[in-house]
Structure 1
């Protein structure tokens, strides 16, 4: 197949000592996966071979030194370093973090240059990856720094999409960070993403409260009445279908989330704890709002099971399919937008 026929998915291999390469190899052990895309792993055939041997994997890979050598019918490994790297499965080491950063950095450079179409990131260790060149709380903040746009972390399945108004910040700083400007920014980003990335013409968005019971009319905090609700009313007046604030416990307990196309949580665990309780292992992390498409699985490095051949590839596989579908939907939306008469 030619490049024009298939979507090229670049894959950063994550922490070398974690389960990233295991779920990658398990995802592509079914050759039919190559019908959907051309995968490119940014790393080293030596490291991949180490993992294959440890896992007794027979998934074939094709080593290349340039994307000009890309084979659209194979799993390509772009060798971005030549030196031997110590792989210590299950251990968080500075070396494994350094090479995870190198894989991500070069994959993102190719994403910016549009030599790959979609970025799929395997899990990193947020401590060992830190360096002079990577000083970010996670993938999302790094990608926002390198790509155009304002990011919004969305954890998603077919039935649930949860975005975060505040991301990787201490809980002690959440209340002061939830401002009208930030709420408007995140609502706008989610709204645009639901339209262009998911093909939803008039999306309905719910915003969760900051305080328990929405503050109980000021008894447990005034932010919901004084900041969040007036901001939602202002956004709603512009024509967007935005509702809330909703108390998070009742919202998920009563399955109210099923009535909405997207949900915005005010802070990290308010959104991710119920999401993972409802769909861990099948969820996808999608970075909305940026100029390029990036997805990842909803789990971490899995050091405790690394090398044991028990990691479940379901979330990684879902992230792959989601990235491909979002890329196609966004491309179609852009084509239709060139002729406003074709946009419903």
Structure 2
């Protein structure tokens, strides 16, 4: 099958001592998955084979040394190193972080050069991956640095999409970081993504409050009244359907989130704690706002169960299907909105 017929999904290998490769192998154990895409794992056949033997996996893989050698009917492993790598399941080692970074770097280069269509990232350990070449809080910030656009982390299921106004920063820095300009940027990015990546014509977006009870008219903080609400009102004047701020506890407790196409939380745990309580194991992390499509599962490295064949691949499968769907929807949007003057 030709490349034009199938979407090529590049998979960064994640932390070698975690469950990343396990969920990859489990996902493609069913050969019918190859009807949806062509997978390319960035790593080495030696590492993949070690995981296969440990997990007693019968998922067949096809080793290649160049993306031009890709076989569209197989699970490809693009060998980007020949080194003998020590794998110690469940341990956070500098070596495993180093090779996780190598995999991510190679996959990102291929993504940027359009040699793969979608990037699907297996979980990394944010401490061991740090180096002179990787000095970022996580995937999102790294990809924003390497690709075009301004990123927005969105955690999503079929019924819930939560974006973050502030991401991987200390809670002590949140209030001072939230400015009218940042709110406008994140609302704009989410709005554009909902239209272009999800095919929603007039999306409705909710913005959560920073303080409990929206500050109770200044009794528990003034940021909601002085920064967030006036900014939302200003955005509304442009015609966007943006509402809030909403107190997070009541918003999720009353299932008000079901009335919106997207939700913006003011800080990391305000959005991710309820999301994972509602959707853990089936959610997807999507990096909106960038020139290319990247998704990942909603879980971490799973060191506590690594190498024990206990990992659930559901979230990884959802991330795969979401990446494919977003790529297709974005492509269709570009075709539909192409200027007639540019069409030959």
Q: Who is 1:136 aligned against?
A: 136
Distance 2:289 2:20 in 1: 25
Aligned-residue RMSD, C-alpha: 0.8
Aligned to 1:47: 47
SS in 2 for 1:77: strand
Q: What CA distance in whole angstroms lies between the structure 2 residues aligned with 1:32 and 1:5?
A: 16
Cα drift, residue 339 of structure 1: 4.2
CA–CA distance in structure 2, aligned partners of residues 293 and 59 of structure 1: 26
Structure 1 distance, partners of 2:105, 2:19, is: 20
**Corresponding residue of 1:2:** 2
- State the SS of the aligned residue for 1:15: coil
Once residues 222 and 66 of structure 1 are traced to their aligned partners in structure 2, the CA distance between those partners, rounded to angstroms, is 56
Distance 2:338 2:279 in 1: 37
C-alpha separation in 1, matches of 2:69 and 2:287:
29
User: Cα deviation per residue 1:215-248 (whole Å; 9 max; x = unaligned)?
Assistant: 0000000000000000000000110000000000
Does residue 239 of structure 1 match 2:210?
A: no
SS of structure 1 residue aligned to 2:105: helix
| Displacement after TM superposition at 1:265 (Å) | 0.1
- Shift of residue 68, structure 1, vs aligned partner: 1.2
**Structure 2, unaligned stretches of length 5 or more?**
none
Residue 322 of structure 2 aligns with which residue? 322
Trace 1:284-295 onto structure 2 (pairs within 5 A): 284-295=284-295
Q: Give the Cα separation in 2 of the matches to 1:340 and 1:3.
A: 27
**For 1:22-55, what per-residue CA distance to the aligned partner results, in whole angstroms no more than 9, with x for missing partners?**
0000000000000000000000000000000000
Aligned partners of 2:238 and 2:333: how far apart in 1? 23
1:340 deviates by 7.0
Specify the alignment match of 1:331 in structure 2: 331
Q: Distance in 1 between matches of 2:63 and 2:3?
A: 18
- State the alpha-carbon separation in 1 of the partners of residues 315 and 259 from structure 2: 24
Instruction: Give per-residue Cα distances to partners, 1:245-285, cap 9 Å, x unaligned.
Output: 00000000000000000000000000000000000000000
Partner of 1:252: 252
Give 1:118's aligned residue. 118
Q: Does structure 1 residue 85 correspond to structure 2 residue 85?
A: yes
Deviation per residue, 1:274-327 (Å, 9 max, x gap): 000000000000000000000000000000000000100000000000000000
For 2:186 and 2:340, the matched residues in 1 are separated by: 25
Unaligned regions of 5+ residues in structure 1, if any?
A: none
Distance 1:108 1:337 in 2: 27
The answer as to 2:229 corresponding to 1:229 is: yes
Q: Distance in 2 between matches of 1:248 and 1:315?
A: 25
SS of the residue corresponding to residue 243 of structure 2 reads: strand
Quote how far apart the aligned CAs of 1:83 are. Answer: 1.0
- Measured in 2, the distance between the counterparts of 1:40 and 1:57 equals 18
- The count of aligned residue pairs is 341
Structure 1 Cα separation of the partners of residues 326 and 310 of structure 2: 29
TM-score (norm 1): 0.99
1:154 aligns with 2:181: no
SS in 2 for 1:269: helix
- 1:133-167 Cα deviation digits (max 9, x unpaired): 00000000000000000000000000000000000
Matched, 1:210 2:210: yes
**Matching residue of 1:283:** 283
Partner of 2:58: 58
2:198 is equivalent to residue 198 of structure 1:
yes
Q: Which residue in 1 is equivalent to 2:301?
A: 301
Query: Partners of 1:338 and 1:67 in 2: how far apart?
Result: 30
Structure 2 SS opposite 1:131: coil
